[in-house]
Structure 1
Amino acid sequence: MILLYGIKNCDTIKKARASLEKNQRPYQFWDYRAQGLTAELLDSFCQQLGWQALLNTRGTTYRALPDSDKADMTEQKAKQLMLAQPALIKRPVLLHQGRYLLGFSEASYQDFFTAVAAN
């Protein structure tokens, strides 16, 4: 089963979902806002993808943070911020057969599914 994590109204999530549907890849969508985000799930993302890659520093949510929250960023501080505001997590996070992929492009999805199928 393919799991897609993100926020429903995100444009990148919409593109990822459309790609999965176009390529007839059944998936389950997990919306952080509607279904929540646990510390355990966030820990698994950080272990597999790295907290620096996971923290979306380009988004409006990050830019709106006080400078004190952005200063001296550590893994623990980043996790606390992402748990409090899931929009800080780069999207989407894709999980399939124990492998993770962060972000979306048609090419990266094609490469990802080809690599998973080869193993």
Structure 2
Amino acid sequence: MKLYGLKTCDTCRKALKSLPDAVFVDVRKDGVPEVVIERAYAQFPDKFLNTRSTTWRSLSEDERARPPLELVKEHPSLMKRPLIETGDQLYLGWTADVKSALGVA
């Protein structure tokens, strides 16, 4: 299991604490494989971009109009976090549904 996120993200830290066997991948430092980004966007097109992030607020209107995949490849911190990959399954965020699916109380 891999958990893609940011070291400074409280939600990512909570998820990692609940998933001690997960391998943490810092999206700023290590990036996210293109194939994983594309799969995540295909599975979560409406939830993929974190439009409440500081990075999003710093973008101009022209930049925000660019395709989401381009934006996330250029600014990985724009991806909603955490993105959890386990086998061929992807989970986005740290909601009750994700916790339940992963067997976390």
TM-score by length of 1: 0.76
- What's the CA shift string for 1:26-47, capped at 9, x where partnerless? 1111111121233322112112
Quote the sequence identity (%).
33
State the distance in 2 between where 1:6 and 1:33 align: 8
What do you get for the CA RMSD once the two structures are aligned? 1.7
Query: Given the alignment, which residue of 8, 20, 40 partners 2:35?
Result: 40
- State the SS of the aligned residue for 1:35: coil
SS in 2 for 1:30: strand
Which residue identity does 2:99 align to in structure 1?
A: Q
Aligned to 1:17: 16
Contiguous gaps of at least 5 residues in structure 1: 115-119
Cα distance in structure 2, aligned partners of 1:80 and 1:110: 29
Q: Paired residue for 2:101, among 107, 112, 118?
A: 112
The offset of 1:59, in angstroms, is 0.9
Larger Rg: 1
8 Å CA contact retained: 2:92, 2:98: no
Alignment of 1:1-119 (within 5 A): 2-21=1-20, 26-50=21-45, 52-71=46-65, 77-105=67-95, 107-114=96-103
* Structure (1 or 2) with the greater helix fraction: 1
Listed one character per residue, the Cα deviations across residues 55-96 of structure 1 (whole Å, up to 9, x for unaligned) are: 11111110110011224x5xxx11111111111000000112
Unaligned runs of 5+ in 2: none
Measured in 1, the distance between the counterparts of 2:9 and 2:69 equals 21
Report the Cα distance in structure 1 between the residues aligned to 2:8 and 2:88, rounded to whole angstroms: 26
